[in-house]
Structures are given as structure tokens and as C-alpha cells.
């Protein structure tokens, strides 16, 4: 086993610095020195709802770094290459979903970057709030030149999670898109929808982020707590991308979807209650998705490099991870914390 250092959650509140073990390299593995890891709201959900029986929790599933070693069967990477890893690190490789390049929907469930079960040795995966990760090369992506490695890290979870549905729903010139919740996922969804050519609006709880939304390229802004603005926006969006991190009623957001349009519910996952009348009136569709398959992830990185899209970040030394989590929980970030892991060397 190899030894590295990381930030481990022992309970629902704080992370502490600790020594971690990584597997020795298998033939198709890379060792990655992690330089930057984004802090996703899913990390916060995982820490707060930690199942202590599941073993150690080291969060972090959107990171960039540099390849330091390669196994003998690795063909696409060499030591020194800039690399990016997202929130899935393996899948069965054989089911229909995997064969279709949708490893994120693998019938045997993909191996998550942390809290997953390694398919060969059964160990629990430990995430990117650490200095080193060992990953199969097939689930690592070359980081395109021109993308700042710190600001690109959030593309690997937040970015691809909104990218895949935007593409699958055919968003392009002429589409009317609204993004509900202007956070880590939401601000990337706005930039991507705008770059795809869509007329794009933000749905937020107050007008406090209106200037930012405009700066990100949004054309419209709807304050979800203002009944007049909500009424005026009824049935006007072909696609509503819902990235809200708290449980919420879908009705108000479905009512903003245009006839035959789709509400893509990506944020707080779990059971929801839907009044079918909100679907019936306008033949509307409700959908969800998560993460991305390998082809979509690679395409997303190329698109972002071409259009100069990266996250707006607040970069903190990893020793301030607990402060980042606390502020994220209070919605006090514009728009993604990224940890600089060089303090773990």
C-alpha cells in the first residue's frame, strides 16, 4: 500500500487531517498528485448524513492534478501529464449503459470516487480531499491546455452533471433555458447554456445574485419569492435545470416549464411529490440525471476549453476545509470553493 495525507470526516461536523492508504498501482492505474479539489454540496450532504458503519469518509470528487506514476498497461498518460478526475472511478464495463458510454448509469452501479466499493479488492474508496489518488486510466481525463487547473476542478462534478442533461435535452440556439439555484452547479449551467446559444435565465430566491447572473451571461432573472415575477414567467422555458440543494416542491418550477418542455431535477435527490396536474397542463416532462459518462465528460472538457468556461472559485488552503464546508452550508460562496492541497505535502 501507498501512504498519503487527507481530510477525513469522523462525524457530521468536522474533518481532520490524517494519514491514508492508497492501493499499489495495478497495470492500468495512474497515481495522481492532487493539486486542486472542488467542494461540492454533495460532500456536505455526505458528511452530514454519514453512515459510520460504511467506514472512513474522505470527501472530494472533482479534482485536477498531475500524473506521477503509471502502471505498465497505461497508454494514454505519462508522468507529468495534467489530469482531471470526477465522481466515478470505475463501472462494470459490460452492461448496456457502459457499452453506450453512460458509465454513470451502470446497471451494477458505478464505483464512486469516495464511499464507493472498489470492484477488485472490496475496499471503500477515499476521495480527493487528499494529496494522492490512484485511479484506472479509463476514468481519468487529460486536462485540456488553457483550462486553469484550480478553476477547472469543479467541471468534473458540477460541470458534467449539468452538461449531460443540457446536451441530452437538445439545448442550443433558440432554446429557452432557466437555471434554478445559482450555486456551484447553477453558475456552470448558466455559462454552458449561454455558450450553447440558449436564451438563459436564472431563478434565484432573491435579487442578490442578479448582477452576477448578468455577468455570467444570463439574459433574464426570476426571483422565485416574488409572485408577480413567477406569474409572468409561467410556461416560458423549454428546459428548467433545477440545482437547488434543499428539498423543495417541484410544482412552482414545473409551472415555469413551457408546453412539452422538461424540468431536469439535478439538485437535492430523493423522493419528491409531484402533482400530475403540473405535468398534465402543458404535457410537461420531469427528468433527472447525475454525473456524466466518459464520452460526455471528455466532450464537456473540450467544450469548456474552447469557450473559456471554468468555475468562479474561492481558492483556500486545504487546512481551511471546515471553514469552506461551513460557509457552503450557509450559501456563502460565489460560486465554488476549491481546496489547494499543496499544504498536505
Closest among 161, 166, 170 to 178, alpha carbons compared: 166
User: How wide is the angle at C-alpha 197 spanned by C-alphas 140 and 332, nearest 5°?
Assistant: 65
Q: In this structure, what is the dihedral angle of CA atoms 159, 162, 163, 166, given to the nearest 10 degrees? A: -160
**Would you count residue 92 as binding Zn ion (CB under 5 A)?**
yes
* Binding residue (CB under 6 A) for ligand NAP from 111, 130, 245, 264: 245
Helix, strand or coil, per DSSP, at residue 16? strand
The C-alpha atoms of residue 269 and residue 139 are separated, in whole angstroms, by 24
* Binding residue (CB under 6 A) for ligand NAP from 4, 204, 297, 318: 204
Q: Which is nearer to ligand NAP, 30 or 203 (CB)?
A: 203
Residue 340 phi, psi dihedral angles, 5° rounding: -95, 115
CB of 170 to Zn ion, least distance (A): 24
Helix, strand or coil, per DSSP, at residue 115? coil
User: How wide is the angle at C-alpha 171 spanned by C-alphas 167 and 173, nearest 5°?
Assistant: 135
Q: Which is nearer to Zn ion, 91 or 204 (CB)?
A: 91
Q: Find which of ligand NAP, Zn ion, none residue 116 binds, CB within 5 to 8 Å per kind.
A: none
CB of 87 to ligand NAP, least distance (A): 7
CB of 38 to ligand NAP, least distance (A): 8
Footprint of ligand NAP on residues 282-321 (CB under 6 A)? 290-291
**Would you count residue 341 as binding ligand NAP (CB under 6 A)?**
no
Which ranges of 196-314 would DSSP assign to H, the alpha helix?
Answer: 210-215, 227-232, 251-254, 276-280, 294-307
Which residue is nearest to ligand NAP, using beta carbons?
183
Concatenate the DSSP letters of all residues of 308-335 into one string: T----EEEEEGGGHHHHHHHHHTT--SS
**Would you count residue 40 as binding ligand NAP (CB under 6 A)?**
yes
Residue 152 phi, psi dihedral angles, 5° rounding: -85, -20
How many residues touch ligand NAP under the rule CB under 6 A: the total is 28
Tracing cell 486553469 back to the chain, one arrives at: 148
* Binding residue (CB under 6 A) for ligand NAP from 58, 112, 171, 182: 182
CB of 68 to ligand NAP, least distance (A): 27
Q: Find which of Zn ion, ligand NAP, none residue 246 binds, CB within 5 to 8 Å per kind.
A: ligand NAP
The C-alpha atoms of residue 118 and residue 246 are separated, in whole angstroms, by 30
Closest among 303, 305, 338 to 64, alpha carbons compared: 338
In the stretch 133-172, what mask flags binding to ligand NAP with x, by CB under 6 A? ------------------------xx--x-----------
Point out which span in 45-53, 91-99, 188-196, 272-280 binds Zn ion (CB under 5 A): 91-99
Binding residues for Zn ion, per CB under 5 A? 40, 42, 91-92, 95, 98, 106, 157
Amino acid at each position: 500500500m501507498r501512504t498519503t495525507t487527507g481530510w477525513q470526516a469522523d462525524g457530521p461536523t468536522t474533518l481532520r487531517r490524517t494519514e491514508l492508504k492508497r492501493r499499489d498501482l495495478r497495470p492500468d492505474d495512474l497515481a495522481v498528485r492532487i493539486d486542486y479539489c472542488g467542494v461540492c454540496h454533495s460532500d456536505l450532504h455526505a458528511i452530514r448524513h454519514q453512515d459510520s458503519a460504511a467506514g472512513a469518509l474522505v470527501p472530494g470528487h472533482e479534482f485536477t492534478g498531475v500524473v506521477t506514476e503509471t502502471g505498465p498497461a497505461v497508454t494514454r498518460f505519462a508522468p507529468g501529464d495534467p489530469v482531471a478526475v470526477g465522481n466515478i472511478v470505475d463501472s462494470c464495463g459490460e452492461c448496456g449503459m457502459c457499452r453506450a458510454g453512460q458509465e454513470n448509469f451502470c446497471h451494477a452501479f458505478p464505483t464512486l470516487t469516495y464511499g464507493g466499493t472498489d470492484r477488485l479488492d472490496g475496499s471503500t474508496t477515499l476521495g480527493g480531499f487528499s494529496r494522492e489518488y490512484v485511479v484506472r486510466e479509463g476514468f481519468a481525463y487529460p486536462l485540456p491546455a488553457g483550462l486553469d487547473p484550480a478553476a477547472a476542478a469543479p467541471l468534473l462534478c458540477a460541470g458534467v452533471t449539468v452538461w449531460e442533461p443540457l446536451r441530452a435535452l437538445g439545448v442550443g440556439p433558440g432554446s429557452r433555458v432557466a437555471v434554478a439555484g445559482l450555486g456551484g452547479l447553477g453558475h456552470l449551467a448558466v455559462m454552458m447554456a449561454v455558450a450553447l446559444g440558449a436564451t438563459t435565465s436564472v431563478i434565484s430566491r432573491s435579487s442578490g445574485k442578479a448582477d452576477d447572473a448578468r455577468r455570467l451571461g444570463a439574459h433574464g432573472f426570476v426571483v422565485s419569492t416574488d409572485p408577480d415575477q413567477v406569474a409572468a414567467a409561467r410556461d416560458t422555458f423549454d428546459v428548467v435545470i433545477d440545482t437547488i440543494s434543499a428539498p423543495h416542491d417541484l410544482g412552482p418550477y414545473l409551472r415555469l416549464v413551457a408546453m412539452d418542455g422538461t424540468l431536469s431535477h439535478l439538485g437535492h435527490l430523493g423522493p419528491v411529490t409531484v402533482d400530475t396536474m403540473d405535468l398534465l397542463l402543458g404535457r410537461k416532462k420531469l427528468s433527472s440525471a447525475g454525473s456524466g459518462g466518459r464520452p460526455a465528460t471528455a466532450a464537456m472538457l473540450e467544450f469548456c476549453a474552447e469557450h473559456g468556461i471554468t468555475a468562479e472559485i474561492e481558492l483556500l488552503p486545504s487546512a481551511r476545509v471546515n471553514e469552506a464546508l461551513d460557509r457552503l452550508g450557509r450559501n456563502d460562496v460565489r460560486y465554488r470553493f476549491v481546496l489547494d492541497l499543496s499544504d498536505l505535502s
